[in-house]
Amino acid sequence: MTPDTVVFYSLSRKFLETEEDIPPQAQQVMYYSLAIGHHVGVIDCLKSVLECPLDGFKQWIARIAPGEARRKLDGVLKWGEIAIDVSHIRLLAPALELAQSGLEGEARDWNAQLYALLRAIEAEPMMYLLVRTR
């Protein structure tokens, strides 16, 4: 099946399969492990926060100036999936800001929504986006 949609998923919460089995004195170790990225038995819950038709997505990112930010977003088309986390904000946010004035209609809305999601990640660095074709 050929993909026809690009979906941005946001981390909504994390949980351990055995959360209730963790004694209170070990919970700080668990939270520390989550913070440094060790995902032993951790399940990330993702929710859809933005959907674009594939053709609309292609037209939108074609309006972003050539460079690393556009290449990052083009990765969805090349690999079918990318992750956007706090390390990508300095790359993507300026490019989205620059593109905003040249966009119209849905592309302008999508651009503004992605920019707002980047700001949310900046405020909560454990949050990330998973972007997939579907």
The string of pLDDT tens digits covering residues 31-46 is: 666 655 555 566 678 9
Alpha carbon of 11 to those of 46, 68, 125: distances in Å?
Answer: 5, 24, 11
Residue 104 domain-assigned (yes or no): yes
Q: Where are the beta strands (DSSP E) in the chain?
A: 5-16, 42-53, 81-84, 129-133
pLDDT value for 86: 95
pLDDT value for 83: 97
Residue 69 domain-assigned (yes or no): yes
Residue 28 domain-assigned (yes or no): no
Residue 129 domain-assigned (yes or no): yes
* 3-class secondary-structure state, position 58: helix
pLDDT value for 101: 96
Which pTM does this prediction carry?
A: 0.80
Q: What is the token pair recorded at 50?
A: 């933005």
Residues of the chain with pLDDT under 70: 14-43
Residue 108 domain-assigned (yes or no): yes
pLDDT value for 30: 58
- Which among 8, 35, 21 has a CA at the least distance from the CA of 110? 8
pLDDT value for 11: 87
| DSSP codes of every residue in 97-110 | HHHHTT--HHHHHH
Residue 115 domain-assigned (yes or no): yes
Residue 96 domain-assigned (yes or no): yes
